[in-house]
Amino acid sequence: MLNWDHIFATRSSRMRASEIRELLKLLERPDIISFAGGIPDPALFPDEAFKTAYADIFSGDQVGAALQYSVSEGYKPLREWLRGEMEKLGIPCTIDNIFITSGSQQALDYLGKLFLSPKDTALVTWPTYLGALQAFNAYEPNYDQLSLSGNRTPESYKAAAEKNGGAVKFAYLSADFANPTGETVDRAGRERLLKLAEELDIAIIEDAAYQSLRYDGEPVPPILALEIAEKGSIEETRTIYSGSFSKTLAPGLRVGFVVAAMPVIRKLVLMKQAADLHSSTINQIAITHVAERHFPEQVAKIKSAYSARRDAMLKALEKYMPAGTTWTKPEGGMFVWVTLPEGMDGAELLARSVETEKVAFVPGQAFFADRSGTNTLRLSFSCANEAMIDEGIKRLGRLVGGAIAAAA
């Protein structure tokens, strides 16, 4: 058999299978209560609205355009709708500041390609979104831990990057209800990040995948909104805002977007032209139809369902988890992050959990660039009803309690 290893580019060695994508296979087993997949509940998709949208496209005068090649920037009416939504968030811009991608994962891949040369440093939170690490890994960066508490100096980041043979290029984070922790960065933390980025002269990539999923608490302006308020224009900003319709309307259509200053958008358009020319035209048109007609009520529907499930999970954790474990209390999103006592291994616990308790979750180590966080795990409440959540956390608490007792 041909040995391909010496033919592959060196970057291929940085590519790893997604532990989460592998765990999604467990969703097909009816005996498993799964808190693993951070995916929306398909029962909440606006399927009737999409049926109508596609029927309207195929029965009207848009069908030719829907099946044709399109511009790389994205479908103009969709960008117009997004411009209005950005205005509501305090992000005044033009449609030329908005670029449509094939899901927000493509945006992360493009941004990694745009900014990272081998040995450059990306600042990421510990833990951070696994998909971002996978997207950036192909461009052979180093990672440094992004601190939002202000306890690190810009010089310390620079020195670490130079020691590794590169430069700091950007800070990546999800500021609202982050995957995997569910935590939100407060306004002071966002302002500290803007100051740090200014001093380091780097970009900020603001992953806003869960922006719409706030269930309680006071909204915090997006980082890009804070920077525009300070600088006066989006063209003076260094923050790149990445969003998606995957968590609100439907992930299968693969429609995401980037909002940024024009120099960034122009480069992204060139990448699109070289990669897949443009995102699916018909899916962009369908998303536009549904967003224009149904977005507020769809968001209200999913927020009602997910907030009840979050409440059920937090209640069950309080009821069943043994002493020595802690967890986040998210104001939105899809995730709760659990920290187990030191010395416990989330991966080993998962193997026992699936075998004996029939409960799945994601071990936390996958979300750390340095593969630390062995004693952590991510729970998603989006695809389980309240009865399943109570029973699943009861089983998980029993397992964790047994493991703690055995280690004592």
Whether 17 shows a pLDDT value over 70: the answer reads: no
Closest Cα partner for 404 from 315, 314, 321, 319? Answer: 321
Distance CA 217, CA 374 (A): 31
In a domain, 173, yes or no: yes
State residue 12's pLDDT score. 77
Strands (E), 57-163: 98-101, 121-124, 142-145
Distance CA 312, CA 373 (A): 26
- Are residues 107 and 210 both part of a single domain? yes
Which is more confidently placed, 17 or 381? 381
Whether 23 shows a pLDDT value over 70: the answer reads: no
Distance CA 220, CA 175 (A): 9
Distance CA 49, CA 53 (A): 6
The set of residues, in sequence order, having a beta carbon less than 8 Å from that of 201 and lying 6+ positions away, is none
- Are residues 209 and 308 both part of a single domain? no
What CATH code is carried by the domain that includes residue 376?
3.90.1150.10
Burial of 39 from C-beta contacts in 10 A (0-12 / 13-18 / 19+): middle
Task: Express each pLDDT in 137-194 by its tens digit.
Answer: 999 999 999 999 878 999 999 999 999 999 999 999 999 999 999 999 999 999 999 9
Distance CA 290, CA 43 (A): 17
State residue 401's pLDDT score. 95
In a domain, 388, yes or no: yes
**Residue 50, φ and ψ in degrees, nearest 5:** -70, -35
User: Stretch 195-205: mean pLDDT, rounded?
Assistant: 97
Whether 317 shows a pLDDT value over 90: the answer reads: yes
Q: Which of 250, 265, 294 is the last residue of a domain?
A: 294
Sign of the dihedral through C-alpha 89, 92, 93, 94: positive
- Are residues 170 and 231 both part of a single domain? yes
- Are residues 258 and 349 both part of a single domain? no
Q: How many Cα neighbours within 13 Å face the side chain of 73?
A: 16
Give me 286's structure tokens.
Answer: 């369908």
What CATH code is carried by the domain that includes residue 206?
3.40.640.10
Whether 71 shows a pLDDT value over 90: the answer reads: yes
- Are residues 103 and 224 both part of a single domain? yes
In a domain, 17, yes or no: yes
Number of domains in the chain: 2
Distance CA 288, CA 317 (A): 39
Q: What is the DSSP letter of 252?
A: G
For residue 221, whether the previous peptide bond is cis, meaning omega lies within 30 degrees of 0, is no
Domain range for 345? 10-46+296-407
Give me 288's structure tokens.
Answer: 């536009």
Whether 41 shows a pLDDT value over 80: the answer reads: yes
User: Stretch 262-267: mean pLDDT, rounded?
Assistant: 98
In a domain, 251, yes or no: yes
The order of strands in the sheet holding 335-339 is 326-327, 335-339, 376-380, 362-363
- Are residues 70 and 171 both part of a single domain? yes
Q: Which of 230, 261, 294 is the last residue of a domain?
A: 294
- Are residues 236 and 305 both part of a single domain? no
SS3 371: coil
Task: Express each pLDDT in 341-387 by its tens digit.
Answer: 999 999 999 989 999 999 999 999 999 999 999 999 999 999 999 99
**36-40, 228-232, 296-300: least confident range:** 36-40
In a domain, 369, yes or no: yes
State residue 26's pLDDT score. 61
In a domain, 1, yes or no: no
State residue 21's pLDDT score. 60
State residue 28's pLDDT score. 66
Whether 27 shows a pLDDT value over 60: the answer reads: no
Q: Which of 294, 320, 348 is the last residue of a domain?
A: 294
Distance CA 176, CA 216 (A): 12
State residue 407's pLDDT score. 79
Task: Express each pLDDT in 291-314 by its tens digit.
Answer: 999 999 999 999 999 999 999 999
State residue 30's pLDDT score. 79
Q: What separation in angstroms does the CA of 310 have from each of 46, 158, 374?
A: 21, 40, 24
In a domain, 52, yes or no: yes
User: Stretch 19-25: mean pLDDT, rounded?
Assistant: 62
- Are residues 30 and 71 both part of a single domain? no
- Are residues 245 and 381 both part of a single domain? no
Rg (C-alpha) for the chain, rounded Å, is 22
Closest Cα partner for 168 from 176, 157, 152, 179? Answer: 157
- Are residues 356 and 381 both part of a single domain? yes
Tokens 């994601």 belong to which residue? 362
Report the residue count for the chain: 408
- Are residues 270 and 352 both part of a single domain? no
Tokens 């104001």 belong to which residue? 331
In a domain, 325, yes or no: yes
Q: How many Cα neighbours within 13 Å face the side chain of 305?
A: 17
- Are residues 192 and 335 both part of a single domain? no
